[in-house]
């Protein structure tokens, strides 16, 4: 099946804050392929409207006003040691009310039900009723876990995502997937529920370590490859990832994630295209997770995108030129790490256990062309092994 991406967004005339922004009216996929891309400069606040909530980019005034307007009984801010150190002060300065801080240790190993128990306990100890506000200040771990805690505490309280990593700004904070890992399996326990709002501040990226920045960049590249050829062409040639105009790049990427997830919130069809690079990428990430040389999520997804671009070529979808262009561009940013794509039999075993498969058949989201994706493509293990050989080849 092939994606048909309809993109749209609007602006809120009531909340103008005299700031020049780009509002891109992207139409459907075919129009993007035909390079019809209209940019209009307007003096509106930068705000992306979703069906049930809004995503605000770089607008502290809107953050203060919105949190005031909710009139919560209590405000809680969930942080880890890094977001407490680098981000909390600025957030608290923009809150007009006192907040209780809930601290959890950083890292995927803490995205567990035990950490949730700590959060629920702290909420109860501070007398949280059914009307507080939970603000999640952090990367995807804080957002996924905090969202799960909020969605289940007293059957659901309001929560705002304030993502502070590139990955969480363009990916994890949008689309409503919440949850924790269990028994070594990622995101085994969770649910899909929209936040009350998302506030993205790209200034938080300034303290993010380079490796984390590069890891998040993989999701921007993926969004380009599956839905926006021009974005891919723009992103894949960038040299200095630290000094980019992230406001614009994050905005464009969020729009792609929002449009896909809104059309298919429960991943019955179209949303599966977001898994491009992730079937092989997750297997590689899981296999090396407990080793002395684990990979960050985006580093594993980079390997997955090269290998799955090969599969897209091998099943007759993208051209050889496109395949080599994708491999060269991704390896220029992430390097070449052949040791991570073995042992292939173990990787294939992990893929068979992927919760997205049916009856052990391995299905992929692949590229239909650069900027367009398809999903539910079954590929035989021998062909998957060929993709590992392709990744391992010297370039
Ligand atoms: N819900 C979804 O749709 C979705 C999508 C993609 C990924 N995820 C999840 O997201 C998680 C990964 O997210 P992540 O990559 O943001 O990792 P993360 O949350 O572990 O953050 C990475 C590290 O950066 C630190 N950090 C965060 N913000 C910082 C800042 N501004 N300055 C300095 N350090 C900072 C954190 O403390 C942590 O050590 C995974 O659990 C993954 O499953 C969820």
Q: Is residue 98 within 8 Å of 128, Cβ to Cβ?
A: no
Query: How crowded is residue 35: how many other Cβ atoms within 10 Å of its Cβ?
Result: 8
Note the pLDDT of residue 119. 98
Note the pLDDT of residue 355. 67
> Residue 63 and residue 162: Cα distance in Å, rounded?
10
> Residue 90 and residue 166: Cα distance in Å, rounded?
18
Residues 6+ apart with CB under 8 A from 153: 120, 123, 128
Note the pLDDT of residue 360. 72
Note the pLDDT of residue 35. 38
Note the pLDDT of residue 142. 98
pLDDT digits (tens, 9 = 90+) for 46-96: 799 999 999 999 999 999 999 999 999 999 999 999 999 999 999 999 999
pLDDT digits (tens, 9 = 90+) for 237-255: 988 888 898 999 999 999 9
Note the pLDDT of residue 250. 96
SS3 state at 281: helix
Ranges of the chain whose pLDDT falls below 50 = 1-44
> Residue 323 and residue 318: Cα distance in Å, rounded?
7
**Token match 């897209």: residue?**
312
SS3 state at 376: strand
> Residue 369 and residue 186: Cα distance in Å, rounded?
30
> Residue 393 and residue 389: Cα distance in Å, rounded?
6
> Residue 160 and residue 299: Cα distance in Å, rounded?
28
Note the pLDDT of residue 45. 53
Note the pLDDT of residue 342. 82
CB-defined site of ligand 1, < 6 Å: 80, 82-83, 86-87, 106-108, 111, 138-142, 144, 164-165, 167-168, 171-172, 175, 177, 186-187, 204, 207-208, 212, 215, 297
> Residue 123 and residue 117: Cα distance in Å, rounded?
10
Domain 49-206 has CATH 3.40.50.1970: yes
Angle, alpha carbons 366-367-371 (nearest 5°): 145
Check residue 303 and give left, alpha or beta (phi > 0: left; psi -120 to 50: alpha). Answer: alpha
Query: How crowded is residue 76: how many other Cβ atoms within 10 Å of its Cβ?
Result: 24
Element (H or E) spanning 192, and its range? strand 185-192
Query: What's the gap in Å between 101 CA and the centre of ligand 1?
Result: 19
> Residue 1 and residue 66: Cα distance in Å, rounded?
40
What is the Cα Rg of the chain in Å? 21
Q: Which of 177, 222, 223, 317 is catalytic?
A: 177
Strands 197-200 and 54-57, by their bridges, are parallel
Element (H or E) spanning 378, and its range? strand 372-378
Pocket test for ligand 1, best of 139, 186, 258 (most atoms within 8 A of CB): 139
Q: Kindly list the distances between the CA atom of residue 121 and the CA atoms of 43, 106, 117, 134, 303, in Å, as whole numbers in the listed order.
A: 45, 18, 6, 14, 40
Which residue owns the Cα nearest ligand 1 atom 25? 82
Note the pLDDT of residue 290. 82
Q: Is residue 297 within 8 Å of 216, Cβ to Cβ?
A: no
Q: Which of 41, 51, 96, 155 is catalytic?
A: 155
pLDDT digits (tens, 9 = 90+) for 361-386: 899 999 999 999 999 999 999 999 99
Q: Is residue 50 within 8 Å of 262, Cβ to Cβ?
A: yes
Return residue ranges of the chain for CATH 3.40.50.1970: 49-206
Q: Name the CATH topology of 209-392.
A: Dehydroquinate synthase-like, alpha domain (1.20.1090)
Q: Is residue 251 within 8 Å of 46, Cβ to Cβ?
A: yes
Return residue ranges of the chain for CATH 1.20.1090.10: 209-392
> Residue 31 and residue 24: Cα distance in Å, rounded?
13
Query: What's the gap in Å between 382 CA and the centre of ligand 1?
Result: 34
């Amino acid at each position: 099946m092939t994606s048909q991406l309809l993109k749209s967004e609007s602006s809120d005339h009531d909340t103008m804050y005299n700031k020049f922004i780009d509002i891109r009216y992207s139409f459907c996929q075919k129009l993007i392929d035909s390079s019809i891309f209209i940019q209009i400069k307007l003096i509106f606040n930068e705000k992306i409207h979703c069906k049930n909530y809004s995503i605000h980019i770089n607008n502290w005034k809107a953050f203060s006003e919105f949190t005031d307007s909710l009139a919560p009984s209590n405000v809680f801010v969930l942080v880890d040691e890094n977001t407490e150190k680098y981000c909390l002060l600025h957030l608290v300065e923009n809150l007009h009310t006192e907040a209780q801080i809930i601290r959890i240790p950083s890292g995927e190993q803490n995205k567990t039900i035990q950490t949730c128990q700590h959060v629920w306990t702290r909420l109860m100890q501070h007398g949280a009723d059914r009307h507080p506000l939970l603000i999640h200040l952090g990367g995807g771990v804080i957002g996924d876990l905090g969202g799960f805690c909020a969605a289940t505490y007293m059957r659901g309280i309001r929560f705002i995502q304030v993502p502070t990593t590139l990955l969480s700004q363009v990916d994890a904070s949008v689309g409503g997937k919440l949850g924790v890992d269990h028994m070594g399996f990622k995101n085994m326990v969770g649910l899909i529920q929209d936040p009350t709002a998302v506030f993205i501040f790209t200034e938080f990226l300034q303290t993010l370590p380079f490796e984390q920045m590069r890891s998040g960049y993989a999701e921007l590249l993926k969004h380009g490859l599956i839905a926006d050829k021009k974005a891919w062409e723009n992103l894949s040639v960038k040299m200095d990832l630290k000094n980019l105009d992230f406001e614009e790049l994050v905005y464009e990427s969020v729009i792609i994630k929002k449009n896909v997830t809104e059309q298919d919130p429960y991943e019955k069809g179209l949303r599966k295209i977001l898994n491009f690079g992730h079937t092989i990428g997750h297997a590689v990430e899981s296999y090396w997770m407990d080793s002395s040389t684990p990979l960050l999520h985006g580093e594993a997804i980079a390997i997955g995108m090269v290998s799955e671009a090969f599969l897209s070529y091998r099943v007759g979808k993208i051209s050889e030129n496109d395949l080599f262009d994708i491999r060269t561009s991704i390896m220029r940013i992430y390097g070449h790490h052949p040791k991570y794509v073995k042992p292939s039999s173990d990787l294939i075993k992990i893929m068979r256990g992927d919760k997205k498969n049916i009856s052990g058949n391995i299905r992929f989201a692949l590229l239909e062309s650069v900027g367009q994706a398809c999903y539910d493509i079954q590929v035989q293990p021998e062909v998957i092994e060929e993709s590992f050989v392709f990744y391992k080849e010297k370039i």
